[in-house]
Structure 1
Amino acid sequence: MTNMSPLPIGGTATPNEAELGTIARVLYEHAGIVLAPGKASMVQSRLGKRLRALGLKDYASYIKLVTSDAGQEERREMISALTTNVTNFFRENHHFETLRSTTLPPLLEKARAGKKVRIWSAGCSNGQEAFTIAMVLSDMAQDLAKLDIRILATDIDPRMVERGRESLYDVGALNSIPQAMQRFVKPEPGGVRVIEPLRQLVSFKELNLHQNWPMKGQFDIIFCRNVVIYFSPEDQLKLWRRFEAQLAPGGWLFVGHSERVPLDGNTALTTAGITTYRLPETAGLNGGPKWH
């Protein structure tokens, strides 16, 4: 008798407890994502496709691959398969209302004074969050093309990063874009595509938040929404601190509806709205990785 979970025709097997534990450990070690108990069927439905694509007969063989030195590329595929990507344009719209009313006006003036403005959409999924920010910016500033404003959009999932670069979305995406803002997308075969001026504002990069951040410079705005909830409490705290160190004085941090930054004695961040935080203008420049 064997402890392996075979993958029969149709791929209906589920990983056994030991295999699920190993998959969870690899996912955590390489992406910081905590695989909650009771996710065997989810793992089966998502990784079963990978086993069939690779011609592997069981989860033990797959685990042997992703834990080997030669399995680096398949580990990326595994993380991609097990990552939850839920997004839409103007999701949690109160954040974009804050951008329009409070956050962006002084930053636009800063840019018009010849200074740069940098925005980061961390855990950007397929790019709809970053392009929503770009839509709001473009709607507010007819002179946007003349200003030194850039948006960095990063995600751990290379497939999502590539979709963001393509910027082609199902026509159903229009349902979440206000009518007045639909001028920022155009119909194409297969859906709607973000217009070129907005695409030029956004740079898409693959980035694992739990590894080194190769960026230079600090950000005026960071969006990281509904991402940190998948991490352990200890890793969440580390990430909040790293985001704070990456903010410029007066910088803004927007988080997801289920997330809260602990406002204790170890942070200079203050509440600035619903799941919105800000550094004081007088905050000292922090160290850490930079991007420009």
Structure 2
Amino acid sequence: MMTGLLPIFAFAAYLLATGSVLMRLFHPKGPHFKLMFSAGILGLVLHMLALTQTLFTPAGQNFSLINVSSLVCWLVTVAVTVTALRTPTVLLLPVVYGFAALMQIATLLVPQDLQLQHFEQNISLLVHITLAFLAYVVLTMATLYSFQVSYISSRLKQKDFTPVSQYLPPLMQAEAIQFRLLMAGTVLLGLALAIGVVFIENWLAKANLHKTILSALAFLVFVSLCWGHARKGWRGRTAITLTVIGTCLLTLGYFGSRFVKEVIIDRLG
């Protein structure tokens, strides 16, 4: 009973957090931050409790597609919320809270598959997956920041100083955070790939080959971007395009194949 109610309560909390930003986005006093953070943190707690019940089972860890998606969503939402306590991220908050709300609906509507893992028996796999998750979360944040940088840049070019502008970070600060996240995420992704190559026996097996290739391609894109920014001063549209390409490759590498297998093929079969 409680397992089914937790996502509903989390959805309501996330929806309230999203609405508290959007309804006062262009208000002279800005969004109602106390209400937003209170609702957002409540949503995170409820989301975590619901996720814990479905992820950890007596038979092992259930890493089904919906559970993994919910876990990544929770990690991104936590990261953006914590960042927002110190850096203005008013444009990112309704995006992550809104997506987290939709994820709660998905957990209720999408049938749960059973994809058991036993990480206590394979520490190397646990480290690899942990690093891969962290890399994906950090690089997703970098992608969100790249969109925010693009928006701030366009507002400055148009000399648009609407009330929401005062709740955005300075362009240089937003760009600096974007590239710090890119660098950190690229390092984490490189470590995850290195551990996979060295310690995971079926790294190049047919079932994992597409994931390996797409992850490696994404890593090369991010390495090229970090090098280009440091040596050639790449920024703006070039940085945004390469960031989105790299993140899409990572998303396809893991979620794409599992979505086709678990949601489309298994349902039709």
TM-score, length-scaled by structure 2:
0.24
TM-score, length-scaled by structure 1:
0.22
Higher helix share: 2
Larger relative contact order (C-alpha < 8 A, sep ≥ 6)? Answer: 2
